[in-house]
Amino acid sequence: MATAGGNSYRNGTHRNSLKVDRPLSVNSNPKTSIKSKPLPVSGQRRSSTGSINGTTGASKDDAGVPGRVRVAVRLRPRNAEELAADADFADCVEIQPELKRLKLRKNNWDSDTYEFDEVLTEFASQKRVYEVVAKPVVESVLDGYNGTVMAYGQTGTGKTYTLVRLGEEDTAARGIMVRAMEDILADVSLETDSISVSYLQLYMETIQDLLDPANDNISIVEDPKSGDVSLPGATLVEIRDQQSFVELLRLGEVHRYAANTKLNTESSRSHAILMVHVKRSIKGRDSALSSEIGNNSHMVKTLKPSIVRRGKLVVVDLAGSERIDKSGSEGHTLEEAKSINLSLSALGKCINSLAENSAHVPFRDSKLTRLLRDSFGGTARTSLVITIGPSPRHRGETASTIMFGQRAMKVENMLKLKEEFDYKSLSRRLDLQLDKLMVEHERQQKAFEDEIERLTIEAQSQISEAERNYADALEKERMKYQKDYTGFNKEA
Ligand SMILES: Nc1ncnc2c1ncn2[C@@H]1O[C@H](COP(=O)(O)OP(=O)(O)OP(=O)(O)O)[C@@H](O)[C@H]1O
Ligand SMILES: [Mg+2]
């Protein structure tokens, strides 16, 4: 097992020189906080990722920008049971936030030290956790990248608290899902952009729709070319305001499997996956197309497709890993626990393979790992929060969570801008324009025919009038001659 650190402090003093597992990073300083935003800024972005391929409008299939998985660790405060049971014992961990280090006690005089991108003490607010763990990912999604925020940790350590809390009674308690949507809604323009959401749970190796429980066997579709994972069978709800989103989360919460175990009265028995699709329209570029279709500026205006960016935020609240003897699971709950542990161990194997740069990564071993393919070793910007508890009784589980986090920090993704010319809406626009032209043509045709008819009637009436006038004149002439003739005869 890779031991990060492995070196120790004795009674707070350095015993060996401190060696911490430094996060691997191509494009960023490992000491840089998770807050940093290593993506290129907008002007550079297009050239650095080369996503829009100038005149053809196709997305260039380049490698993308390196972006290591970021890992923060969050310590849950002691709960009531721990306050009583562990009263005479020190916490199993000690956190040094300024150094972004965590010390895991081995015994009273020895501890291992680990470094993370961020370490969050038991006093860290939900707002701060959002800002360091999720906000940079949300910003990337708004810029057109895929992003993942995932919580991993032993049962009862605060994964659901960190990600899913609605905080309706106490807004300070709002979790990452709610805060992420607030930021997304604040940034997009609903006239040109759209947000849609699916909310699912992975339970005993089946994917179920948390927004429509009857939809309980959704299949995963993987695009071998782009690496994108999608769930076309899932309900997709368009979001226009925060309230309707919170309603969806509440609906999902009702349908999610949870159970009362010895370690958590509200233990999640399924992995919950929230997918937020953000589609943004960017104004098209004149130059790219004018070379294609000459200098006809009217044509350019008509044929200029806008650019769409499709970022997808995936938020994953994993079911907790648990030692079955400790959680007291039996019967059906035991079967659930086995399935949860199976998918989590498949995830652990994939992270190990990726961290070690193995040629083969066993993504296909579970639905969870298939779903997370783009999040680890794929094109998404990924931030992981590992949650731990302070109790020395769970030191083993805490150590294994820490090791999972350390290995995840070695996973390097290649972020790719999901950008393309919007030919669909161009075609819709052209269709509309064609319809308009046809209606206008029909209107002109009708007006032309009406005018011809009017002119014909007018000409006919003029002819009739001329005929009448002619007949009248003839009659008058005839009468005149008749009168003259009668007068002439009388005189004669
Ligand atoms: N940072 C925190 N501050 C205060 N209370 C917390 C914190 N984190 C978790 N809790 C409390 O601890 C309990 C367990 O948290 P939660 O249900 O989020 O754990 P979990 O990791 O999701 O567990 P499981 O894997 O069993 O689903 C809850 O009562 C929650 O309110
Ligand atoms: Mg939970």
CATH code where residue 60 lies: 3.40.850.10
pLDDT of residue 302: 58
Closest CA to 60 of 421, 375, 427: 421
Say yes or no: 401 and 437 in one domain: no
Q: CB within 8 A of 408, min separation 6: which ones? A: 69, 71, 152, 351, 355, 376, 384, 386
15 is a domain residue: no
Number of domains in the chain: 2
What's the gap in Å between 77 CA and the centre of ligand 1?
A: 10
Rounded to whole angstroms, how far apart are CA atoms 323 and 82? 18
Residues 123 and 209 placed together within one structural domain of the fold = yes
CA of 91 to the centre of ligand 1 (A): 17
Of the listed ligands, the closest to the CA of 156 is 1
Same domain, 392 and 433: no
Helix (H) or strand (E) holding 470: helix 423-491
pLDDT at 299: 53
Residue 10 belongs to a domain: no
Q: What is the pLDDT of residue 339?
A: 86
> Does the annotation list 154 as a binding residue?
yes
Reported pTM: 0.76
Domain assignment of residue 129, yes or no: yes
Residue 319: CB within 6 Å of ligand 1? yes
440 C-alpha to ligand 1 centroid (Å)? 64
- Residue 1 covered by a domain: no
- Give yes or no: residues 384 and 447 share one domain: no
Which of 372, 393, 421 is where one domain is finished?
A: 421
The verdict on 259 and 218 lying in the same domain is yes
CA 379/CA 191 separation, integer angstroms: 28
- Is the CB of 175 within 6 Å of ligand 1? no
pLDDT at 460: 95
Same domain, 408 and 447: no
pLDDT value of residue 51: 40
Query: Which residue has the CA at smallest separation from atom 16 of ligand 1?
Result: 158
Domain assignment present for 7: no
In a domain, 96, yes or no: yes
Q: What are phi and psi of 339, to 5 degrees?
A: -65, -40
Position 120, amino acid = L
What is the rounded distance in angstroms from the CA atom of residue 21 to the CA atom of residue 114? 7
Is residue 387 in contact with ligand 1, taking CB distance under 6 Å?
A: yes
Paired residues of 105 in beta bridges: 111
Query: How would you write the pLDDT of the chain (492 residues) with one tens digit per residue?
Result: 333 333 332 233 333 333 333 333 333 333 333 333 334 333 333 333 334 433 333 344 466 899 999 999 999 999 999 999 988 888 999 999 999 999 999 888 899 999 999 999 999 999 999 999 999 999 999 999 999 999 999 999 999 999 999 999 999 999 999 999 999 999 999 999 999 999 999 999 999 999 999 999 999 999 888 778 999 999 999 999 999 999 999 999 999 998 888 888 888 999 999 999 999 998 754 444 444 444 555 555 557 778 899 999 999 999 987 766 676 677 887 888 888 888 999 999 999 999 999 999 999 999 999 999 999 999 999 999 999 999 999 999 999 999 999 999 999 999 999 998 877 777 888 888 899 999 999 999 999 999 999 999 999 999 999 999 999 999 999 999 998 888 888 877
Helices (H), 41-171: 42-49, 80-85, 126-129, 135-142, 159-163
Q: How many residues does the chain have?
A: 492
Distance 460 CA to ligand 2 centre (A): 89
Q: Could you tell me if 275 and 410 lie in one domain?
A: yes
Tokens read off for 34: 């998770």
Positive or negative, the CA dihedral 32, 35, 40, 41 is negative
The number of helices, as runs of H, and strands, as runs of E, in the chain is 14, 21
Which of 358, 393, 421 is the last residue in one of the domains? 421
Give 392's DSSP letter: G
Ligand 1 site, residue 320, Cβ cutoff 6 A: yes
**pLDDT for res 3:** 34
My answer on whether 106 and 53 are in the same domain is yes
User: pLDDT tens digits, residue range 285-324?
Assistant: 444 444 444 455 555 555 777 889 999 999 999 998 776 6
Concatenate the DSSP letters of all residues of 227-277 into one string.
Answer: --EE-TTS--EE--SHHHHHHHHHHHHHHS-EE--SS-TTEE-SEEEEEEE
Cα–Cα distance for residue pair 87/446, rounded to 1 Å: 92
330 and 443 housed in the same domain: no
Domain that holds residue 188: 22-421
* 445 and 330 assigned to the same domain: no
Sign of CA dihedral 223, 229, 233, 235: negative
Q: Is the CB of 49 under 6 A from ligand 1?
A: no
Distance CA 354, CA 115 (A): 19
Q: Which residues contact 293 (CB under 8 A, 6 or more apart)?
A: 299, 300, 303
In a domain, 12, yes or no: no
Give the pLDDT confidence score for residue 289 in this predicted structure. Answer: 44
Residue 274 and residue 129 share a domain: yes
81 C-beta closer than 6 A to ligand 1 = no
Q: What are phi and psi of 58, to 5 degrees?
A: -85, 155
6 is in an annotated binding site: no
Q: What angle do CA 76, 82, 391 make, to 5 degrees?
A: 60
**Of the residues 395, 421, 447, which one is the last residue of a structural domain?**
421
H helix intervals, 356-394: 367-371
Is residue 358 in a domain? yes
- Tell me, yes or no, whether 442 and 417 share the same domain: no
Answer whether 310's CB lies under 8 Å from 279's CB. Answer: yes
